[in-house]
Amino acid sequence: GAGVSQSPRYKVAKRGQDVALRCDPISGHVSLFWYQQALGQGPEFLTYFQNEAQLDKSGLPSDRFFAERPEGSVSTLKIQRTQQEDSAVYLCASSWGGLALYEQYFGPGTRLTVT
């Protein structure tokens, strides 16, 4: 079946704008993760969902970041009042099992540029 998809692939936002990034995980996958990857760095954990429950959001850098997965499938990462330091690639990953105990399948990412 289809892999993990993310949209948009590229987003340019002016500082102060709100953005919404979408992730469509593999159908039936229980776990969904969001990561932020700065240029030349490894992905940094943002938040984790098990079905519709957000079990961990300790990696969200500020209260301007909000994620949801209301029906346990599609997830949206929202960033309010974007700042230049939010510029990064945002990666979504899903896995069939619970917690971070299984192989994760990654989407292609959304490259966010805040000007």
CB of 57 to other proteins, least distance (A): 10
CB of 33 to other proteins, least distance (A): 6
| x/- letters, 37..76, toward other proteins (CB under 8 A) | ----xxxxx--x------xx-xx-----------------
A 10 A CB-CB count for 63 gives 7
Burial of 3-36, coded b for 16+ CB within 10 Å and e otherwise, reads ebebeeeebebeeeeebebebbbbeebbbbbbbb
Of residues 74 and 80, the one with the C-beta less far from other proteins: 74
Query: Is the Cβ–Cβ distance between 55 and 72 less than 8 Å?
Result: no
CB of 101 to other proteins, least distance (A): 6
Binding interface with other proteins (CB under 8 A):
4, 33, 35, 41-45, 48, 55-56, 58-59, 91, 93, 98-109
